[in-house]
A and B are shown apart, each in its own frame.
Chain A
Amino acid sequence: MSEDEFAKKMAEFPDSEVKVLRKGQIAMKVPAEKGHDAARFLKDMGFTHLVAIEYVDWIKDGEFELVYNLFSYEHKMRVFLKVRIPRDKPEYITFMDLWPIAMTHEREAHEMMGIVFKGNPNLTPFILEDWKSIPPMRKDFDARKFVKETYESIPFVEDEP
């Protein structure tokens, strides 16, 4: 099957916006409340591998975008399933029931962007054990200011006061 045939099939899903990006890549946008159904719909179509969950901070729109990167070994085809959630209430449902590996990807999105996935039992951070600021991958996080306040403010030990 070609990309256009796939796109036509995906457009049958209610409220979806489908666009062929290039050879082997299709983007599909759905409203947030239909994301889980769309993922199941795509999985039934043969997109059985959840490669990654990407997260984009659209700070001017006040929204986070979650991009579920799906791959089909059967058709050698990639689909980006995109949903948008409000920035001031970053909550979404987990996709662990479809792909157990979603737990790891959701952990990362929670650590770096502060998105809470309901139903995911393990959202402990990988690296940022002692994090005290807003999540570091958000657009309004000022890395330079944070480094100045956190690391550069610490005095050298052996300079006599």
Chain B
Amino acid sequence: MVEVKNEEKERIASEDMGVQIENQDGIELRSFGTVKRWATKRSLWMVHYCTGCGGIELAPLMTSRYDMERFGMHPMVTPRQSDLLLITGYVNIKTLKRIIRTYEQMPDPKYVVAFGSCPINGGPYWDSHVTINHLDKYLPVDVYIAGCMPRPQSIVKAFDMLMDMIQSGKADGYLRYKKYYDRYKANQEKLFRKWW
């Protein structure tokens, strides 16, 4: 039986990537995280939801020119069957509410990619009265793409990066959301007067 350290046990349990098998020696914990992560990274489905101006960059990405489907990615109409949420531009308070609803409906593991300078720090809308400036105050973001707007090449590069991060276990946005849930909720509630 392989000795499993406590932290390792916690990590595997928190990532939902282990199985517990009972035999006469006690409880054995077997991890097949590597295989699962490999499978996850090659079958990312993204929510077909666009905010701001970045949605226009997705058209060449999905179609034959840059052909997203060679990575096993394709758009999905419902958040409950998706792994990937793209924030494709500026976010205002009303949109943020919808984004959070969408994000919370997605099953784990889930990843967020933020496009362009607007979700990073507000971009050209830094002093607008309605766009929130930093997206990561309200939602955990795994990969940022700089640029206004980023070209499809940089988006493909970001997906490549995200896949590497998933394989190495660094794409842990959904775990951070659980860990700091109270703080994220507190920040969100500062903006919203009522939920619906």
Contacts and interface: CB of A to CB of B under 8 A. Distances in A.
Contact of B127 (A127, A132, A147): A147
A128 interface: yes
B94 A147 contact: no
Interface in A113-161: 127-130, 132-133, 136, 141, 143-144, 146-147, 150-152, 154-158
Contacts of A151: 122, 132-134
A141 B127 CA distance: 12
A156 B132 CA distance: 13
A157 B190 CA distance: 13
A147 B93 contact: no
B93 A154 contact: no
Contacts of A129: 93-94, 97, 193
Given A146-B129, A147-B126, A158-B180, A130 B134 contact: no
Contacts of B180: 157-158
B137 A157 contact: yes
A133 to B, nearest CB: 8
Contacts of B32: none
B192 interface: yes
B191 interface: yes
Contacts of B130: 127-128, 136
Nearest to A146: B129
Residue from A127, A130, A132, A146 with most neighbouring chain B CB atoms (10 Å): A130
A130 B93 contact: yes
Interface string B155-196: 000000000000000000000100010011001001111100
In the complex, which range does the number of interface residues on chain B fall in?
A: 20 to 34
Nearest to A133: B129
* Main SS class of interface, A: loop
A108 to B, nearest CB: 14
A152 B133 contact: yes
B64 interface: no
Contacts of B97: 129
A146 B193 CA distance: 16
A148 to B, nearest CB: 9
Contacts of B183: 155, 157
Contacts of A158: 136, 176, 180
B110 to A, nearest CB: 17
A89 to B, nearest CB: 24
Given A130-B193, A158-B176, A136 B129 contact: yes
Which 7 residue pairs spanning A and B have beta carbons closest together? A130-B193, A136-B129, A157-B183, A151-B133, A157-B180, A143-B129, A154-B137
14 contacts: A127-B94, A128-B93, A129-B193, A130-B192, A130-B194, A136-B130, A143-B127, A143-B129, A147-B127, A150-B191, A154-B191, A155-B187, A157-B136, A158-B180
Interface of B: 92-94, 97, 122, 126-130, 132-134, 136-137, 140, 176, 180, 183-184, 187, 190-194
Given A130-B93, A141-B129, A155-B183, 19 more contacts: A127-B130, A128-B93, A128-B94, A129-B93, A129-B94, A129-B97, A136-B129, A143-B127, A146-B129, A147-B126, A147-B127, A147-B128, A154-B134, A154-B191, A157-B136, A157-B137, A157-B140, A157-B184, A157-B187
